[in-house]
Amino acid sequence: MSTPTSDQLADRSSLLLQTLQTMRRLSVIFELFTQATADRMGVNTTDVQCLNIIHELGTPTAGEVATRTGLTSGSVTGVLDRLERAGYIARLDDPADRRRVRVRPTPKAGDLAQQVFWPMLAAVGESYAAFSDDELRLLLTFLEVTSRALTEQTQRLRADLTPNNSSA
């Protein structure tokens, strides 16, 4: 294997920088989309993210939502209260444990998905249709690797905020 030339290293460095800058812009665009969705729903962005997690998990408990988000149980209770008042979730008794409550998305949340998320996913899917199967596999790998890295960094940041590690 030959040693890369300085031009090849510069090209690679430039590609990495462009990739990271594009990811940063994409992150902002996702946040703006989430804010626009929250505005349309009459809730805040944390509520939208929690509703997405509820959709993903099916019928989670409040504790499962708290674990997934890193929010306190009190914060999750507030989120669930707002989502329930707005008609996006319903609380259900857990058949396995009468002391526990589960939450599920309502038909109103399904309508929201059809109006807001499905058109966005269809547009993105249309753009992805131009990619070959190998390119889609590479894209999927990129997204999975990036998701793992962001999850790890989120956990690192949260650990740094614990009372024993607080910089305040």
Take residue 106 and report the two structure tokens written for it: 């309502």
In a domain, 164, yes or no: no
Quote the DSSP letter at residue 97: E
For residue 153, tell me if it sits in a domain: no
At 97, is the pLDDT very low, low, confident or very high (cuts 50, 70, 90)?
Answer: confident
Q: Who's near 154: CB < 8 A, 6+ residues apart? A: 70
**Tokens standing for residue 19:** 């990739």
**Count of domains forming the chain:** 1
| CATH code of the domain containing 60 | 1.10.10.10
Read off the pLDDT of residues 100-116 as tens digits, 9 standing for 90 and up. Answer: 899 999 999 999 989 99
97 within domain boundaries: yes
In a domain, 132, yes or no: no
Q: State mean pLDDT over 11-40.
A: 94
Q: What percent of the chain has pLDDT over 90?
A: 75
In a domain, 145, yes or no: no
Length of the chain: 168
Residue indicated by tokens 């690797």:
145
Considering the domain boundaries, does residue 87 fall inside one?
yes
Domain contains 80: yes
- Could you tell me the residue range of the domain that residue 96 belongs to? 7-106
Higher pLDDT, 158 or 84: 84
**How far, in Å, CA of 22 to CA of 40, rounded?**
27
Q: What is the pLDDT of residue 8?
A: 73
Give the Cα-Cα-Cα angle 40, 41, 43 (nearest 5 degrees): 115
Q: Enter the pTM of the model.
A: 0.81
* Banded pLDDT at 163 (limits 50, 70, 90): low
Q: Are 100 and 60 in contact (CB under 8 A)?
A: no
SS3 content of the chain, % helix, strand, coil (to 5): 70, 10, 20
Q: Is 15 inside any structural domain?
A: yes
Nearest partner of 118 among 37, 8, 26, 11, judged by Cα: 37
